[in-house]
Amino acid sequence: MLGCTVMQYRGTALVTGAGSGIGLATARVLAASGFSVALASLEPDAPPLTDAMCYYRADIAQIGEHAALLARIIADLGPLTCLVNCAGVTSLVRGDMLALTPESFDRVLAVNLRGTFFLTQVVARHMLDCPPPADVPRSIITIGSSNAEIVGETRADYCMAKAAVGMMNKLFAARLASAGIAAFEIRPGIIHTAMTSPAVARYDRFVADGGVPMNRWGEPDDVAATVLTLARGDIPYATGIHLDIGGGMQLHRV
């Protein structure tokens, strides 16, 4: 853990994949809005932190390390009230799915599905054991992808993992609803991040040709704002749903 000042906040959130991109934007928005935030990421060096943020170097694919990570966060910041599953990787090589390698498939599934599921399992058990005051909402928010439904032939392993994450969200929602823990999935469209940088020219053409009705790329802050809405409990009578944050890209148009 890299230094933080622990104060009393709206709740405590763990954001995985928080070293950059959507995860970092989410951590910053939550911290600015009254949460104390644990940022977990593989990067050896922490991004700039505020007093409300603590950084933990962690690889969620290493499921044997989940319990120790959670214990450190609880000791530093207190019981978790929000988990944001943002850690994810894409295919080692974009290309023909007939050439997809087991190495790429296993890597994507290890992080995007297996690691995410088992970390959520550990956090869910903790949330059930440590209920907060009645006025504090609890949530598990998973960053999926528009590729849960939209075919991306050059990233078959990524698409399959994100489709499975959609069902994972529904399963946790059903299991935890009676305890007052909501589960949501956010499906970003084309967002400016390191993951999309190899395909900038292609996506620029796609946006210019009308593929995104709002006629622009998305930004990490677009997704982070949605996470904040859910984490604050601003949609109180909902769970198990997904929200498309893609500028209308997910609309089927003829």
pLDDT tens-digit map of 98-131: 999 999 999 999 999 999 999 999 999 999 999 8
Please state the rounded mean pLDDT for residues 156-174: 98
pLDDT at 6 over 60: no
Instruction: Check residue 10 and give its pLDDT.
Output: 82
Proportion of the chain above pLDDT 70, given as a percent: 96
pLDDT, greater one: 199 or 44: 44
For the chain, first and last CA: distance in Å?
Answer: 51
pLDDT at 199 over 90: no
Beta strands, E only, the chain: 11-16, 35-41, 53-57, 82-85, 138-143, 181-188, 242-245
Instruction: Check residue 57 and give its pLDDT.
Output: 97
User: Mean pLDDT across the chain, nearest whole number?
Assistant: 93
Neighbours of 183 (CB within 10 A): 26
| Interatomic CA distance for residues 38 and 89, integer angstroms | 20
Instruction: Check residue 9 and give its pLDDT.
Output: 53
Instruction: Check 9, 55, 158, 203 and give the catalytic one.
Output: 158
Instruction: Check residue 102 and give its pLDDT.
Output: 97
Q: What is the pTM of this model?
A: 0.93
Between the alpha carbon of residue 156 and those of residues 98, 159, 185, 204, the distances in Å are 9, 5, 20, 22
pLDDT tens-digit map of 63-76: 999 999 999 999 99
Q: Among this protein's residues, is 158 annotated catalytic?
A: yes
